Copies of this chain bind each other. A is one copy, B any other.
Amino acid sequence: MAVQPNLTPPVTASAAPEPQLPAHERIYRLLRNRILWGLLSPGEPLTLRGLAAELSVSMTPVREAVRRLAAEGALSVSASGRFSAPELSAERLEELASIRALLEPELAARALPRAHFALIDRLDIMNHRVDETIVKDDVPGYLRTNLEFHRTLYLRAQAPAMLALTESIWLQAGPTMRALYATKRRSEATANHRKILAALRAGDEPGLRLAVRADVTQGLRMLIG
């Protein structure tokens, strides 16, 4: 699956600047980012005509994009075929967390031997950006930069299928994460990130796995526990 080099700084997910992409693909990425960055609230309804009007296209490409997201679990579809951002039960959330705890340490471990200084430095800078979003209480920005941090590391694992699975989990949790992080503090996040960076520098695989697992787990545990 294609990686998306979308690094747009602005707060809102605005019109995609890629004109030669098929409309359904553009719309898919746009909606995907909205979900990933917590711009949708759990239960929020989406309509084909509404999105089509908003994006100035017909229903056809919107339908493809929305159904694709629904197939990935990023949107839920009612018995009558209506689409909405999913509302996750606690146990479902816990399942997603345990999947992350399974996949992400593995991805990190595979990235470890390939992680040179330049990458670690870039991760360090990214982590500072995460910090900034925290002090500014910018929840979408936090979700975005946090996932960017993880994805940048995992890209080095050279395991596209595993990364795609992981991103699909992020997608499923997106709207709920927004609601979650809006109320809770997330100061431990960058501490975990720093542990990750330290383990990377030290070439310490067990430590890396542990740090990643802690980082991934902590976010959702604080809801449940």
Residues on A close to B: CB < 8 A? 1, 22, 24, 60, 63-64, 67-68, 71-73, 81, 92, 95-96, 98-99, 102-103, 106, 159-162, 164-165, 168-169, 172
Contact = CB atoms under 8 A, between A and B. Distances in A.
Summarize A's interface: helix, strand, loop or mixed: helix
A71 B73 contact: no
B102 A164 contact: no
Contacts of A73: 1, 161, 164
A159 B81 CA distance: 24
Question: Which 5 residue pairs spanning A and B have beta carbons closest together?
Answer: A68-B71, A165-B165, A95-B161, A95-B159, A64-B67
A164 to B, nearest CB: 7
Given A63-B64, A68-B71, A71-B68, A99 B172 contact: no
Contact of A106 (B102, B161, B164): B102
A28 to B, nearest CB: 8
Nearest to A72: B71
B71 A162 contact: no
Nearest to A173: B161
Contact of A68 (B67, B96, B103, B159): B67
Nearest to A81: B22
Contacts of A95: 159-162
